Structure 1
Amino acid sequence: MQKKPLILVTNDDGITAPGLRTLIHIMNEIGNVVVVAPDSPQSAMGHAITINSTLYSNAVKIDDGPQKEYSCSGTPADCVKLAVNEILERKPDLCVSGINHGSNSSINVIYSGTMSAAVEAGIENIPSIGFSLCDYAIEANFEPVKEYVKTITIAALKNGIPKDTVLNVNFPRLPKEEIRGIKICRQARATWMEEFDKRTNPLGKEYYWLTGKFVNLDKGEDTDEWALAHGYISVVPVQFDLTAHHTIQDLNTWNLND
């Protein structure tokens, strides 16, 4: 009998988030599941880690299932570090993060706690996938994407994710019958046009509220934003080597040692 894979499940919306609970139930059909997730929401934390304060982890039981679960007082990246170094007896065969409440396509991958957990696992040489649904509501309907999460996960386990790469998977907010399929994409060139809403509290102290508008500057039809806008699930291979290799030759012409 083939041994079930060990799957680490985490997220950034917190251990009680419906998206995480959905992901756990799907992974229970595939492998042996251990959950290490933040004890409170950690959205947009990027790749922050805790170095100047203590970390706490507690075994918890949120709902029925064979999985072992732990809440962590730290960030999503902390959760993966703690899982690999303290909780698990061996490295997992796969790490899955999500299902995030909200898009992590395009530039959002930089800020995403969901993807930072997946990237941290990738740094540890653990195949990893971040899953996100383009619906920020806490009552978001994950039912239409369950089959696709399972399909992508099984394919990753069977084929292997390329070395030093993690997968960023985003689902459009659509009924199942309107999802047109899965597209392998590149990250769209897009940005946030940000504004700060300046306000004054009752004590007269000024404070700021960050607002902004997402602007897609990329007209390509091979991007994650195009795929999502046209009813497809986007899968973007993400690397954590941030070197701009194509610029090295140009920079060497600067003759910095002369």
Structure 2
Amino acid sequence: MRLGVLLLAGALALPAHSIRIVQSNDDGWAELYIRTLNSALRAAGHAVVLSAPADDRSGTGSRDEPPAPRARPCAYDSCPARAGPVGSNATRPDLNWVNSFPVTAIKYGIDTFGPRLWHGAAPELAVTGPNVGVNLWLTVPFSGTVGAACFAAHDAGIPAIAFSAASTRRAAWDVSPVPDRSFVYAQLATALTNKIVASGKPYLPKDVFLNVNFPKVKGACTDASNFKWVLSRINLGIFSPPDVEWCGSKRLPTELYVSGRGGCYISVSIGDASDKTTINDGRQKVVLDKLRDMLVCLP
């Protein structure tokens, strides 16, 4: 698979209209997954501003601290030593790093970098990841990728999607050749993003974020067309009210269960951005109606 194929896939999957997207992660602005997705979203016509930590800040949850000046280069030598607390690519002002945590980074994207390029306009959607490694159930509260998405949805009022990926080998933004797993995850994340955009505003209900986990790219799961989307929940629902009725049940499968089934199943959980647990009210149906025709039931 080559970049031209990815760009063509993005062009063929154009949403109803392009929108302004702020992008972040917790693995760092120079990590390959976020850069490949950035290319795919831009190829689909969106105006994207990337604002992510200068280095790997995995597992930092919702920490938020003012960025400090750097003494060393950014990860993968992607910024020079003694650069400032924040910075941008010299030729791509839409690519930005913040020497702090994911929440801090996405705040800069929302409040500073985005409006600077969009003539004062705010982002319409936040996309974080794909995270290098899954974020399922008990790990969700500790994920910086999830933390950034929840800040966007809960604090900034911007609908958000957090993507995480099971294929965990790290790579720099400029690795060559680009491994297929990065292209596949970018195609899939762009497809769901475009689906949400095409569903119309509001793209997601208030305080909702989607927690999306991709399986490993291997075996039969090496072509984006072979993957299946499954509506799920983050945590167990033993003591919670019934879920939206779907697939003949009033209890959605947990994302951990979907992940453990094997195969090419992608879990899509409807998360509460205020506490990082499962939304368990009428907002589930709103999201189901937006995604219904792309979802499958587990066998």
Q: Which runs of 5+ in 1 are unaligned?
A: 190-219, 245-258
SS in 2 for 1:241: coil
Q: In the TM superposition, what is the alpha-carbon distance from 1:61 to its structure 2 partner?
A: 4.7
Separation of aligned partners in 2, 1:111 and 1:238: 14
Q: Which structure's residues are more often helix, by fraction?
A: 2
SS in 2 for 1:88: helix
Q: Tell me: CA distance 1:52–1:170, structure 2 relative to 1, closer, same or farther (3 Å).
A: closer
SS in 1 for 2:126: strand
Residue matched to 2:138: 107
Q: Which runs of 5+ in 2 are unaligned?
A: 1-15, 70-83, 116-120, 172-178, 237-250, 278-299
Residue matched to 1:236: 269
Separation of aligned partners in 2, 1:37 and 1:168: 18
Residue matched to 1:133: 165
Contact 1:33 1:67 in 2 (8 A): no
Q: 2:52 aligns with which of 29, 37, 40?
A: 37
Q: Which has the larger radius of gyration?
A: 1
Letter in 1 for 2:50: V
Separation of aligned partners in 2, 1:109 and 1:132: 10
Separation of aligned partners in 2, 1:84 and 1:187: 26
Count of residues paired in the alignment: 211
Separation of aligned partners in 1, 2:256 and 2:146: 17
Q: Tell me: CA distance 1:67–1:172, structure 2 relative to 1, closer, same or farther (3 Å).
A: farther
Task: Provide the alpha-carbon RMSD of the alignment.
Answer: 2.7
Q: 1:226 aligns with which of 254, 257, 260?
A: 257
Q: Which structure's residues are more often strand, by fraction?
A: 1
Residue matched to 1:212: none
SS in 2 for 1:27: helix
Separation of aligned partners in 1, 2:168 and 2:109: 27
Letter in 1 for 2:231: I
Contact 1:183 1:235 in 2 (8 A): yes
Letter in 2 for 1:128: A
Q: 1:169 aligns with which of 212, 218, 228?
A: 212
Q: Tell me: CA distance 1:184–1:57, structure 2 relative to 1, closer, same or farther (3 Å).
A: same
Mapping of 1:65-144 within 5 angstroms?
68-89=94-115, 90-123=121-154, 124-139=156-171, 141-144=181-184
Q: In the TM superposition, what is the alpha-carbon distance from 1:86 to its structure 2 partner?
A: 2.0
- Tell me the TM-score normalised to structure 2 length: 0.64
Separation of aligned partners in 2, 1:176 and 1:146: 18
Contact 1:172 1:229 in 2 (8 A): no
Q: In the TM superposition, what is the alpha-carbon distance from 1:101 to its structure 2 partner?
A: 0.5
Q: In the TM superposition, what is the alpha-carbon distance from 1:69 to its structure 2 partner?
A: 1.1
Q: In the TM superposition, what is the alpha-carbon distance from 1:180 to its structure 2 partner?
A: 4.5
Separation of aligned partners in 2, 1:85 and 1:221: 36
1:181 matched to 2:221: no
Letter in 2 for 1:239: D
Q: In the TM superposition, what is the alpha-carbon distance from 1:243 to its structure 2 partner?
A: 10
Separation of aligned partners in 1, 2:132 and 2:113: 26
SS in 2 for 1:107: helix
Contact 1:166 1:237 in 2 (8 A): yes
State the identity as a percent.
25
Q: In the TM superposition, what is the alpha-carbon distance from 1:176 to its structure 2 partner?
A: 7.6
